[in-house]
Structure 1
Amino acid sequence: MPAPRPRTDAWHAAPYDAALRSGGGPLYLRRDDGTAVELEVRRWCARADAADLTVVRRCEGAVLDIGCGPGRLVTALAERGVPGLGIDLSPAAVARTVRAGGTALRRSVFDRLPGDGRWDTALLIDGNIGIGGDPSALLRRVAQLVTPGGLLIAETAHADLDECARVRLDDGRGSSGAVFPWAWLGPRALARRAAAEGWRVTEEWSAGRRRFTALRPA
């Protein structure tokens, strides 16, 4: 059965949808203490870049892109003839993915999904290891989605973080969304949490300013 579903509804409301429709933002993830991280909406809405392609080349079999956003990875996979499905709570994200030639559904990772237990590769890119604010619960859910020898590729923070905070989406112009939990993990924290949930790290790499970890069920 799917894991209990944490609150993720902020990702299908303004200002996130508005930022994706415009293709450029600005959009911030603002913490309760007032500090903010600018989200890379323009990069998300562009074609897959060189760092993204290091992920695409490592994908095996059928691919589930969790929190696919506007679908650049799903589209890049489709262009290579690789079967892939993106899931995202944002109608604007799903619409952009489909217009670009990818396949996407408006779903949460904690919903029942097509192909539960049969995905060869799962992706948690652009910080999506933070979905739900509980990376351990997310890792348990992904273990239910992939095949017994399946592959998970996650993008991590560069710094050695293991942090959860209450945040809201903010467009910097006075529009903000509901408060929800989010998490940030660096490579060592991901490896530690993954080992506790029955995953093993098989590869770590950097591309530009971004860092990635590949894992398989232990």
Structure 2
Amino acid sequence: MSSERVATARQWMDEFLVMSHPDLGRAGDVCPFMARALRLDLVDLVPFDATAGEEEFAGLARELRDGLEKRAEGVGNLRMYLATVIVPHGLPDDAMRTMVERVQIGLKAEFVERGLMIGEFWPGHSGAGLHNVDFRPLAAPLPMLAMRHMVLTDLAFLSGDHVPDAEQVFYLGHFRRIFAAQLTGSWAAKLDAAEEGAGRAVASA
């Protein structure tokens, strides 16, 4: 069963993430990094027996996070293409969806603090696309938890109406620290505006 679910996850990557989509709202692949990541064999798909419980799941995510950082030491500028995807099995999808969601929420702050992103996928995920609110890029055939290194374009995922104001202040502070040397021109302006808006909202709450 675990191998079948891993195969399903890989098929979804090959047939959805690395393809264009008419509802995407921009040109290019759904995930701009995934095609090269797969071609370079930098994506690890790791099965997890969900009957072991949420605490074990979170522990595995932290262990794989440390492994991702270690792998980055040997690939130089290709680190942005490193990704690890946990594919749970052993419980009904609804239960595994809840587990993925809770672990993602619980670990997001510590991942961001270390310059990493942690994301969730599951069937029917309602998360909207950045360029088309009717597009659902996080809707996958089965629940999964993914992690990778942060890139500049992740500013859009760390700010905006979909992120609570206080969390934005925290995330954006670490974003500024991590990308300090690259924050010029439009990126500096975008971050300044996001921080100003979040800070103002928190102060007025």
| TM-score interval (norm. to shorter) | 0.3 to 0.5
TM-score (norm 2): 0.32
Q: Which has the higher contact order (CA 8 A, sep 6+)?
A: 1
TM-score (norm 1): 0.31
Q: Over alpha carbons, which structure has the higher Rg? A: 2
Q: Determine which structure has the larger helix proportion and give its number.
A: 2
